[in-house]
Amino acid sequence: MSDLTDKLDGFRTQLDELDKKLSGEALNDMNLYKTLMQERSHLAPVVESLTELKDLEKQAEDSREMIKAESDAELVEMAKEELQNLEEEIKAKEKECRILLIPPDPLEGKNIIMEIRAGTGGDEASLFAADIFRMYSHYAEKQHWKMEIMSSSESGIGGFKEIVVSVAGKDVYGHLRFESGVHRVQRVPETESGGRIHTSAITVAVLPEAEETDIEIRPEDLRVDVMRAGGPGGQCVNTTDSAVRLTHIPTGLVVICQDEKSQIKNRAKAMRVLRSRLYEMEEAKKQKERADARRSMVGSGDRSERIRTYNFPQNRVTDHRINLTLYKLDSIMEGELDELIDALRLAAGEEALREA
């Protein structure tokens, strides 16, 4: 039995105790019921996955016993083949279990606001910002999440100087929280005629989307300006005062939304972005206090920290926080991010378990 399945009996006992409380005392206390259900939603998949792992380990042990005891060469060969398959399944199941054992982040179930901005590199950086936006769009589609553009500023050559999107769905923040930071690209730009490799960079910020109950914005702390939208757009975009600029006076944060023709819709989107930026500031303060300003293994989430390099000539992606290099950039740019994201979540979980 592995160190993981040794924990199974203890988790089963915890789950039984939770179920007793949920069918008893918690029925008269909705807050307690909600808390216990959140605990159960984390614990039940752990018990299920560990049970499956234990079954696989038992099958593998049976195969080993057969190999030792059996004299028929053909049966021994079959048992060896089965054992090899079982060992691969066990390895995959152990990885799944370790991810499930990661203590849940209180923000994990939140939707997000993602901000992608071109950095150093001029037009090439704006083109890469568009590529990264498409990468996350493909990933969101595979996860059955809903992505909505909140605001954007195009570069005029098919790129984005900035694009802000909301992403809604199951465990969005839990999956994408480690994408914040500087993403560096090394490739021959479309604008380069000499075939030289250039290095450019963009920044990504992932903000947990705040509900109205999470952050209070007082009317007296808000300055609202309306103006005509600028840049490319459809009919009426530059003829009505539909663009909205919100300034949060105490912090100096400014949000502009102009993608919608309706001033009301632009204001609603701007409020969602502003609320999420303020929420992120509050959460960053709490995390700093909890961690005593210590940077974690997978980085601080600071958007000025270089986290990843995308090298197109070598078809290579390197995540610098966990020293992971994958030679499958082509599929990653098509949204195949699971291997990267699982590795980051696992590293963060192991760090959290060490600190617990």
CA–CA distance, 145 with 287 (Å, rounded to integer): 27
Cα distances (Å, whole numbers) of residue 38 to 15, 34, 41, 105? 12, 6, 5, 12
In this prediction, residue 302 has a pLDDT band, given cuts at 50, 70 and 90, of low
pTM (2 d.p.): 0.66
DSSP lists the bridge partners of residue 306 as: 182
* Residue 222 to residue 227: CA distance in whole angstroms: 16
pLDDT band at 337 (very low <50, low <70, confident <90, very high): very high
Average pLDDT over residues 181-191: 88
With a cut of 80, say whether residue 238 has pLDDT above it.
no
Reference 178, options 335, 353, 302; nearest CA is 302
Architecture of domain 112-213+296-355: 2-Layer Sandwich (3.30)
Instruction: State which of 22-36, 121-135, 228-242, 257-271 shows the largest mean pLDDT.
Output: 121-135
For the record, the structure tokens of 209 come out as: 């989307």
What is the pLDDT, as a whole number, of residue 235? 44
Task: Pick the most confident of 112-126, 151-165, 184-198, 319-333.
Answer: 319-333
Between 3.40.50.1100, 3.30.110.30, 3.30.160.20, 3.40.50.720, what CATH number should domain 219-289 receive?
Answer: 3.30.160.20
Where does CATH 3.30.70.1660 sit in the chain? 112-213+296-355
74 has a pLDDT exceeding 80: yes
Backbone angles phi, psi at 10, to 5 degrees: -65, -40
Q: How confident is the model at residue 147 (pLDDT cuts 50, 70, 90)?
A: very high
Q: Worst-scoring range by mean pLDDT, 94-103, 120-129, 168-177, 269-278?
A: 94-103
- Of residues 73 and 307, the one with the higher pLDDT is 307
* Whether pLDDT at 72 is above 70: yes
Pairwise CA distance, residues 59 & 87, whole Å: 10
Check residue 116 and give its pLDDT.
Answer: 95
As annotated, the residues of the chain forming the CATH 3.30.160.20 domain(s) are: 219-289
Q: What's the CA gap between 119 and 244, in Å, rounded?
A: 24
Query: Which residue from 350, 308, 282, 275 is spatially nearest to 185, judged by alpha carbons?
Result: 308
Mean pLDDT of the chain: 85
What DSSP string runs through 92-147?
HHHHHHHHHTSPPPTTTT--EEEEEEE-TTHHHHHHHHHHHHHHHHHHHHHTT-EE
